[in-house]
Chain A
């Protein structure tokens, strides 16, 4: 049990720091109004305009993010295979090709249905 004491202490410290920072900010921070502060945050670039009160909005960021995750996961599976490539032999190669083909099918769908076009 004593092994876990440092983890517990770290958790308490982290929680304390978070609560302290959030709690102290309204009292100590300067309050200078700036229009950019109220904008949506999109990685520091000019935010994409959106209709007031909701309405239809483009999904392009989400599609890009989802595609990124798909290919990211593909790479995660490719690494261990690449490390043990010669040990896994033909079986590993065939399975990996099958796996990549399935991802490729999804890729072909996205490409043909213009999921890769920005506008």
Chain B
């Protein structure tokens, strides 16, 4: 007792200004919860939507301002790193979240009451009582806040908290699809159980690394690598289990099993948010852990990640070929892209934990994010009577019935395939170039071969859309709402602009990457 009362406590300093983008998002989420509590039902949506979008725009503006000021610091006693990569990732996540929210704003995607069937009397009753879940907006804000904190966390405990703040709202959102309720609930259940499992791995790794280094701070762990001896078991098992937790979140093989089920079952706007935002956030966190904390251990983890990268690329590309559902195909394509990105992580080695690889990954993530959100936005517009026309055979001849929409979708697919003049080309080029510079030529060869395999199933969909006869009772093309139209337009514009004039964004990524990670 005496030691407890005698020890002086110095108050920590917290740089509220530098953390402002995140604080705005979390604050807006709290206000959103209060709106749910205190405003009449018919007003909620018209209040929630502006709060969500304005807070994201405000946070984005602040992030840009900090980038202009050149903020590079470890805030909150070194627990949160506000550095170049963090700011770039924040900006990317916020942009993609704004676009996704425009898609989420469409009424049609979310269930009014968990047990109601679309179009039934029960649903009408739930809707007339204002049962529609406007909680979606605060949940999205919490998830986005978590996504921002996750890659910026400079401390394993903060990273874990961020992981949960990011994941828990997403588990809920996955289960709210209006149509195909069982699939949606199955997705939420699987995501939750597997996510909880991977969180446990993450925590276990954190505990072991704490046992090794005596600290959860990434910098302290890096220092301990050279000063602490004879604790290799703790270090290796800790690093491995921590890696499992992170690789699960990016969906690398052999931890990819959740991705197709979750992407398929979730409401498509939420899939768009997850496939873009979560991937960016998780990659940021993965890089920070492996480059900052475990940078000097690269001789041990590089071979493992080689295997993971090859397996991820092959599994993603091969299994995507056999898919018949458009959302599952995009999910496997996301797995393949995770593998392509991993080549740059793996190949950098130690001395080349360099700005080039980092800027390549950052650019790739942004380009891929926009193409993904756009592709899922198109998926929401191709409808059967029972909801979205998921089966690929239903997409046959779409190009003859709606050339514009099919053309835009083809653009996104070409961007995924990495065809020149689309954003995907420069992304893939930057990542593979970094990998070659890092000496991972074999890995790049596997990458190029699997890219060719991936191009096959992207082009197959394009051929199906433009050169097949339309199905007699083909799907209808929904007239897009303002939001959906804006999403498709913005994503297509970003994909083309990043493919034709990538230099400004490449420069930005390069500037952001120059500081590497603040230690």
Contacts and interface: CB of A to CB of B under 8 A. Distances in A.
Given A56-B115, A91-B11, A92-B11, A83 B36 contact: no
- Which of A105, A111, A113 has the largest number of chain B CB atoms within 10 A? A105
A31 interface: no
B11 A112 contact: no
B38 A112 contact: yes
Nearest to B39: A112
A108 B34 contact: yes
A41 to B, nearest CB: 25
Interface in A66-90: 83-84, 87-89
B123 to A, nearest CB: 15
A102 interface: yes
Given A105-B30, A105-B33, A106-B33, A84 B38 contact: no
Q: Is the interface of A mostly helix, strand, loop or mixed?
A: helix
A17 interface: no
Interface residues of A, number: 16
B34 A105 contact: yes
Nearest to B12: A91
B4 A83 contact: yes
Contact of B9 (A87, A105, A108): A87
A99 interface: no
Given A56-B115, A87-B9, A113 B36 contact: yes
Nearest to B114: A56
Given A56-B115, A83-B4, A88 B34 contact: no
Contact of A102 (B8, B12, B30): B30
B37 interface: yes
Contacts of A112: 36-38
Given A56-B115, A83-B4, A109 B11 contact: no
A113 B37 contact: yes
Interface string B121-148: 0000000000000000000000000000
Interface string B61-105: 000000000000000000000000000000000000000000000
A108 B34 CA distance: 7
A87 B8 contact: yes
Nearest to A92: B11
Contacts of B34: 105, 108-109
Interface of A: 56, 83-84, 87-89, 91-92, 102, 105-106, 108-109, 111-113
29 contacts: A56-B115, A83-B4, A84-B4, A87-B8, A87-B9, A88-B9, A88-B11, A89-B11, A91-B11, A91-B12, A92-B11, A102-B30, A105-B30, A105-B33, A105-B34, A105-B37, A106-B33, A108-B33, A108-B34, A108-B37, A108-B38, A109-B33, A109-B34, A109-B36, A109-B37, A112-B37, A112-B38, A113-B36, A113-B37
Interface of B: 4, 8-9, 11-12, 30, 33-34, 36-38, 115
Given A56-B115, A84-B4, A112-B38, 12 more contacts: A88-B11, A89-B11, A91-B11, A92-B11, A105-B34, A108-B33, A109-B33, A109-B36, A109-B37, A111-B37, A112-B37, A113-B37
